[in-house]
Amino acid sequence: MMDELLNDAVRQLLADQCTPAVVRAIEAGGSHAALWQQIENAGFADALVSEEAGGAGLNLADVFGMLELCGTYALPVPLGETMLARGLLAASGIARPPGSIALTLATRVSDGHIASALVGSGRIADHVLVQCDGQARLLRTADAIASAAVFPLDAALRWPIARWNAAPQLPDAVDLRSLQACVYAAQLSGALMAVFQRTLAHANEREQFGRPIGKFQAIQHQLSVISEHTFAARMAAQIGCRSDGIVPDRLCVAVAKARTSEAALEVAALAHAIHGAIGFTAEFDLQLFTRRLHLWRQAGGSESYWQDVVGTALLDGEHAMVLDLIRGVTDIH
């Protein structure tokens, strides 16, 4: 109930503040500050922070809907990542800096830097929670040497080792890859729903041969397949957010990211097929979502990366029957 109210508030804010025009402007290099400030003022970024520490005290499963909405509105700031990072920081008693926090895995390179070739939202995040050599530390983006990545909001970042050594460190090891994949799986679910609904609307509006194309059986069946993938992916993404606390379960995340990534590929292709040339234009909003389907399919590990995680659990785990692994990730109590 609590999370339903919160979802409504997030939906309302994003519908007003995160319009396609705003998404385009930020992607084109415009300021994201006003959008972020609205989100910050609403307190959404502290959803996973305990109530004693000034947050909403929710757990990961509670915020699935919020994470999903970030995808539904193609939100061009890292709210989901920030929620998780702030939750971890607060749980460790580390002061939470204002502003957004990206998540990345980095390596120590020979010239004495801590480097990540791809930081999702690295161009716009204020901080980055960086995992390197089994430690996670919070670094300022302003202290990094930045260079461009492929997606306009992302960046390659490198920090001098002295910055890393001086940065606050989470006391416990954290599986940052699982956190990323959990967020992206939920965002994929939201983006899939957006693409599905937009494609359905287009099929009802666009007329050819004297009737809406949605009246043709071939189009109807493609839309049915889109809906199947969308709802299976949504269930998978919910599995990824299963947790009593704020840290997801790696196997549940693996199922979530593998399945949502598969769905992203199928649905993006079908949606463009149904839209025809108009969906291929910059002006039409579909691309804001289908480009993200591809982006988030790749981010945090593609389907094969996570299928390997599930496969390893199946082969090396305790269960003789696949059913028992499936029950383990889907049974809630």
Binding-site ranges for another protein (CB under 8 A): 197, 200, 203-204, 214-215, 217, 219-221, 223-225, 227-229, 231-236, 238-239, 242, 254-255, 258-259, 262, 303-304, 306-315, 320-323, 325-327, 329-333
Minimum distance from CB of 173 to another protein (Å)? 24
Minimum distance from CB of 320 to another protein (Å)? 7
**25 or 200, CB closer to another protein?**
200
Angstrom distance (rounded) from CA 333 to CA 323: 17
Angstrom distance (rounded) from CA 211 to CA 251: 47
Q: Which residues contact 331 (CB under 8 A, 6 or more apart)?
A: none
**141 or 189, CB closer to another protein?**
189
**144 or 274, CB closer to another protein?**
274
**67 or 155, CB closer to another protein?**
67
Angstrom distance (rounded) from CA 300 to CA 181: 5
**34 or 225, CB closer to another protein?**
225
**141 or 260, CB closer to another protein?**
260
Q: Which residues contact 325 (CB under 8 A, 6 or more apart)?
A: 251, 310, 313, 314, 317, 319
286-298 and 20-27 helices, crossing angle to 10°: 60
> How many CB atoms are closer than 10 A to CB 215?
14
**90 or 237, CB closer to another protein?**
237
**156 or 329, CB closer to another protein?**
329
Minimum distance from CB of 35 to another protein (Å)? 27
Minimum distance from CB of 6 to another protein (Å)? 16
Minimum distance from CB of 51 to another protein (Å)? 25
Minimum distance from CB of 254 to another protein (Å)? 7
Six token digits for residue 267: 């649905």
Six token digits for residue 172: 């416990």
User: What are φ and ψ of residue 117, in 5° steps?
Assistant: -75, -15
Minimum distance from CB of 40 to another protein (Å)? 29
Minimum distance from CB of 16 to another protein (Å)? 22
Angstrom distance (rounded) from CA 176 to CA 198: 33
**282 or 320, CB closer to another protein?**
320
Minimum distance from CB of 221 to another protein (Å)? 4
